[in-house]
């Protein structure tokens, strides 16, 4: 398993608990010693326990030496990072380095599996790299669909396993690794295995993320229209989701999507299309709607408070979504930065993200009530359940103002108003203004 980021660590630990012997390859010594002691370099539910079990079983180990790992293995998973470069396209330097090392150390029998999300055509490029190194290695594309916050269960109970290759035998070697998942006891959890060609497997990954991001941008656009016409987007989304052709997932309106994947993958897909002479205008619109959506909260604050300079604003949330400490491309970070640019005094709080990940001179508090103390407004930027269960009366009593702008529609508008708060949210202005139905 070359690379021990989110994907590599989860996949390594999971395979090891499924009776496969796994060697994780990681260049950074501090990361290796943490992993050897059973600590993932990031917070992910259930992962540390799984790492501990795998290490104790003796089927998981870590090394910095690719050659040493290759000498005792048959399949090499490429799980190195492909972060967005300055031009927005994935930076393939780590992949290039890993591939060259593999080319140098292999005896020619290895099957190389791309798990990193790589631009369409990269597996073909890898095949050529290996040829240049004087070896012919079979390449299999096996895209991952793991979500941060539920990566372990996503791996062990996937909706599908997608494998692409021109080499049927290599493909079956990888299927074999997944056998414990494919043939697991509970029949309803057994995923289909889709065998296809390299370029199709690579495209599935991009299409899946592009569709999910488009679904979120779609419901956000509907939410904005709901705000104008006085409809309730949560009811609209609920009714849409009951249509089996649409499905209920990814219809939660709010500040928009973030994280290290959607933005990067959409840009890469748009760029690939452009390289082929096609303008992917729907995908560009998905990105555009999302960019505007992040600033919706700032506009709402301006509508209520007018000039924001000197206002004290508490931003609840820093992670790009609940269930992770990851702040990469987080809408919450963008909101905090913009508020600060406008002269507001910003305090952020998050149950998991580190204080060090707060941007600029933004103050960080772990406790939401402390963050809200003497604030003019509280903004909900991340959908943490910890925020949804806050005592709103206590919150209101600590603030100097009374405005709650709920960028994730966490609260019941009537309860928020009953707690003495001026409440605004996304796509539910009709509900927020209407007389409470149940009182
Ligand atoms: C996403 C995909 O869901 C995974 O299948 C994929 O493997 C992964 O990217 C990847 O490419 O590595 P992830 O980035 O962990 O997973 O997060 P998601 O759960 O997809 O959420 C993405 C963003 O959409 C978050 O900011 C979340 O708050 C937002 N979102 C999601 C909404 O605003 N509304 C929703 O209804 C759902």
Q: How far is the CA of 289 from the centre of ligand 1 (A)?
A: 16
DSSP per residue over 132-196, as a string? HTT---EEEE----PPTTSHHHHHHS-S-EEEE-S-HHHHHHHHHHTHHHHT-SSGGGPPPEEEE
Can you give the pLDDT at residue 439?
Answer: 41
Ligand 1 within 6 A of CB of 262:
yes
In degrees to the nearest 10, what's the CA dihedral of 318, 319, 324, 328? -140
Nearest CA residue ID for atom 19, ligand 1: 147
| Catalytic residue positions, numbered | 261
Nearest CA residue ID for atom 11, ligand 1: 261
Give SS3 for 222.
helix
Can you give the pLDDT at residue 361?
Answer: 87
Indicate which atom in ligand 1 lies nearest the CA of residue 261.
11
pLDDT-flagged residues of the chain (< 50): 438-439
Q: Which is nearest to 129 in space by CA: 102, 157, 156, 162?
A: 102
Q: What confidence tens digit (pLDDT) does each residue in 226-270 have?
A: 999 999 999 999 999 999 999 999 999 999 999 999 999 999 999
Structure tokens belonging to residue 210: 């592009």
Can you give the pLDDT at residue 84?
Answer: 83
Ligand 1 within 6 A of CB of 125:
no
Give SS3 for 420.
coil
Q: How far is the CA of 257 from the centre of ligand 1 (A)?
A: 7
Q: How far apart are the first and last CA of the chain?
A: 58
Ligand 1 within 6 A of CB of 321:
yes
Candidates 117, 209, 265: which one to mutate for ligand 1, based on the most atoms within 8 Å of Cβ? 209
Q: How far is the CA of 220 from the centre of ligand 1 (A)?
A: 15
Ligand 1 within 6 A of CB of 422:
no
Ligand 1 within 6 A of CB of 151:
no
Q: Are 375 and 339 in contact (CB under 8 A)?
A: no
Number of Cβ atoms within 10 Å of the Cβ of 88: 14
Ligand 1 within 6 A of CB of 250:
yes
Nearest CA residue ID for atom 3, ligand 1: 147
Indicate which atom in ligand 1 lies nearest the CA of residue 252.
36
Laid out side by side, the sheet with 138-141 consists of 75-78, 111-114, 138-141, 161-164, 193-196
3-state helix, strand, coil in the chain (%, to 5): 45, 15, 40
Indicate which atom in ligand 1 lies nearest the CA of residue 148.
15
Q: Which is nearest to 99 in space by CA: 83, 117, 79?
A: 79
Laid out side by side, the sheet with 345-349 consists of 363-365, 345-349, 312-316, 377-380, 403-406, 422-424
Q: What confidence tens digit (pLDDT) does each residue in 63-84 have?
A: 999 999 999 999 999 999 988 8
Ligand 1 within 6 A of CB of 148:
yes
Q: Which residues pair with 264 in a beta bridge?
A: none
């Amino acid at each position: 398993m070359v690379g021990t980021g989110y994907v590599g660590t989860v996949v390594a630990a999971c395979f090891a608990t499924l009776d496969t012997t796994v060697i994780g390859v990681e260049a950074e010594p501090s990361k290796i010693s943490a992993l050897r002691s059973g600590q993932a370099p990031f917070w992910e539910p259930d992962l540390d326990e799984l790492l501990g079990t795998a290490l104790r079983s003796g089927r998981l180990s870590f090394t910095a030496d690719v050659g040493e790992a290759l000498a005792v293995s048959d399949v090499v998973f490429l799980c190195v990072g492909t972060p967005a470069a300055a031009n927005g396209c994935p930076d393939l330097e780590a992949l290039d380095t890993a591939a060259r090392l593999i080319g140098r150390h292999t005896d020619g029998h290895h099957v190389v599996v791309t798990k990193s999300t790589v631009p369409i055509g990269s597996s073909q490029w890898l095949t050529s790299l290996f040829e240049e190194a004087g070896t012919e290695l079979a390449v299999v594309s096996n895209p991952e669909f793991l979500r941060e916050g539920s990566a372990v269960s996503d791996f062990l109970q996937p909706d599908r396993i997608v494998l692409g290759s021109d080499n049927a035998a290599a493909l079956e070697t990888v299927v074999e690794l997944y056998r414990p998942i494919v043939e697991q006891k509970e029949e309803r959890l057994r995923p289909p295995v889709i065998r296809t060609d390299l370029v199709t497997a690579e495209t599935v990954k991009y299409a899946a993320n592009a569709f999910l991001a488009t679904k979120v941008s779609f419901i956000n656009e509907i939410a904005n229209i709901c705000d104008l016409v006085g409809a309730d987007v949560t009811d609209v989304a609920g009714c849409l989701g009951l249509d089996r052709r649409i499905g209920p997932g990814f219809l939660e309106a709010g500040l928009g999507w973030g994280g290290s994947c959607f933005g990067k993958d959409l840009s890469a897909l748009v760029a690939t299309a452009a390289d082929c002479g096609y303008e992917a205008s729907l995908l560009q619109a998905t990105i555009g709607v999302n960019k505007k959506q992040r600033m919706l909260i700032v506009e709402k604050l301006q509508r209520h408070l007018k000039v924001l300079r000197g206002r004290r604003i508490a931003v609840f949330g820093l992670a790009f979504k609940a269930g992770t400490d990851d702040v990469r491309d987080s809408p919450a970070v963008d909101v905090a930065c913009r508020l600060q640019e406008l002269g507001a005094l910003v305090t952020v709080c998050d149950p998991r993200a580190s204080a060090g990940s707060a941007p600029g001179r933004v103050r960080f508090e772990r406790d939401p009530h402390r963050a809200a103390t003497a604030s003019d407004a509280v903004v909900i930027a991340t959908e943490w359940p910890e925020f949804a269960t806050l005592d709103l009366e206590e919150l209101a009593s600590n603030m100097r103002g009374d405005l709650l702008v709920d960028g994730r529609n966490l609260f019941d508008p009537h309860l928020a108003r009953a707690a003495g708060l001026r409440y605004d949210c996304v796509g539910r202005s009709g509900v927020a203004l209407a007389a409470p139905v149940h009182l």
